[in-house]
Amino acid sequence: MNKILENHFRIPAGMVEIKGPQSFTAESGFFRFGPLTHCYGRRWTECAKKSELSHDSASSVRSKGGVCFLPFDLQEIVDGLRYERYISGEANQRVGSLARAVYYAIRPLLPVGLRRYAQRRALRGWNHPGFPVWPVDRTVDLLLEQVLLLAMEARGLQEIPFIWFWPDGSTGCITMTHDVETKAGLRFCEELMQMNERYRVPASFQLIPGARYCATLDDVAGIRGRGFEVNVHDWKHDGAMFSSRQAFLEASARVQGCVEEWNVKGFRSGALYRNPDWISEMKIAYDMSVPTSGRLEAQPGGCCSLFPWFFATPSDTAHDRNAGSVLEIPVTMTQDYSLFHVLQEYSLSTWEAELAEVLNGNGLASFIVHPDYIRGNREQRLYLSLLEQISRLRSDHKVWVAAPAEIHQWWSLRAGMTLVRMGDGWCVEGEGSERASIAWARRSEEGLYFKVDQVVSAEGELYSES
């Protein structure tokens, strides 16, 4: 079970040890772990006797001989969130009151602007009680941090080194992606590429091969020739690809053909319709179909994480997920479509509030902006100010702005790196380690915080600690 901590943080193997219980409840359910985290899955039978949601399962954690004993299987709980196994009508309603409780618990920590948005949304009625929590749900990340903290306590460690999440000591990451929905959108790509070039923002364009404008190799070459990335966007974008096993097998074989013909690596489904278990079977390097908090999406749910993560391969039983299986690069930001047509908003407020949350968690901010929806003057102006903001975050706050393929490459390299002792200190070994930084997870009165070695951010350390 240590593997999940070691894979996420890239801490030295064996430095902490966690174990799950011997006996589990028969049923999965929602439960609380720590003041801010709610989870879904099976629990230790003893701890589950106190079944009310207000009971904090963290009080059942024990430590003995340097080992931290958890009242659940950490990998199972994290998978329950990442693979959206918590989704089912009845279960989703039951957690409503808990999600609300969690929201009110963290409310004092939210910036005023964000709070106002939460309130306004609630008044409009779309923010119905449920899970994940709006606007950013980082339950998986918080859970992993909390367990690392408990495991360090069990070993009596004040600090532990790990390989920092992003290359060159970057404080967080931003990626821009464009899904091309129509012929008109395809025609607008030229202008969109010019806008991105003006601010030196790399981006990927997802093209539909099997319907609508039926993207050709020429379309692919035109975009790639300008230095932008291309990925496959569904097969026909008709909402059918994940509707049945048969439909999925047929469409994914077609997508596979395109991945090879176009020589691309990534995929995103139409309208983020998805089945995480099936995505893990696709022969692609990375997927971008799972939202972090999909409250405004056609298919609700979300993986509750601000970091990329590897799917398990079908034969994986050892929890040793690593480079080689499909990487999920989750959609963490509100889509332009939802911004304009659901929230009816033409300002940067929501995006700025989300960016602040995501980058404070040192996470990935991944945008979907459609060429189809930003052709109007008002929308173009808004997009240009977003690009300006991204460019400022890169220069002033040392945020890494990268295309999805670069993120995939980095995350795969990082998964292959190891921290090894060298004299009194540590060094990172493995391909790509010259871009890696050593970071420290340290215990404090308030919990866990991160410190990156030898990183000087231009504007103090606003985004370098959490």
User: 83-121 burial by CB neighbour count: b if 16+ within 10 A, else e?
Assistant: bbbbbeeebbeebeebbeebbeeeeeebeeebeebbeeb
Question: For 131, which DSSP code?
Answer: S
Binding mask 268-307 for Zn ion (x = CB under 5 A): --x-------------------------------------
CB of 272 to Zn ion, least distance (A): 8
CB of 370 to Zn ion, least distance (A): 7
Say if CB 267 and CB 258 are below 8 A apart.
no
CB of 11 to Zn ion, least distance (A): 38
**By CB under 5 A, which span of 21-29, 52-60, 176-184, 224-232 interacts with Zn ion?**
176-184
CB of 372 to Zn ion, least distance (A): 9
Single-letter code of the amino acid located at 303: C
Q: CB-wise, 71 or 291, nearer to Zn ion?
A: 291
Which residues are registered as beta bridge partners of 223? none
Say if CB 345 and CB 339 are below 8 A apart.
yes
Which pair of structure tokens corresponds to residue 166? 């992003």
CB of 215 to Zn ion, least distance (A): 12
Interacting residues with Zn ion between 404 and 463 (CB under 5 A): none
CB of 210 to Zn ion, least distance (A): 13
Q: Which residue is nearest to Zn ion (CB)?
A: 179
**By CB under 5 A, which span of 4-12, 174-182, 347-355, 361-369 interacts with Zn ion?**
174-182
CB of 288 to Zn ion, least distance (A): 11
Among 2, 3, 7, which Cα is nearest to 307's?
7
Binding mask 235-274 for Zn ion (x = CB under 5 A): -----------------------------------x----
Interacting residues with Zn ion between 338 and 357 (CB under 5 A): none
Interacting residues with Zn ion between 185 and 214 (CB under 5 A): none
State how far the Cα of 331 lies from the Cα of 348, in Å rounded to an integer: 18
Among 145, 161, 152, which Cα is nearest to 438's?
161
Apex 332 CA angle, 199 and 411, nearest 5: 80
Identified binder of Zn ion from the candidate list 76, 137, 141, 179, rule CB under 5 A: 179
Length of the chain: 466
Q: How far is CA 239 from the centre of its chain?
A: 23
* Binding positions for Zn ion, rule: CB under 5 A: 179, 270
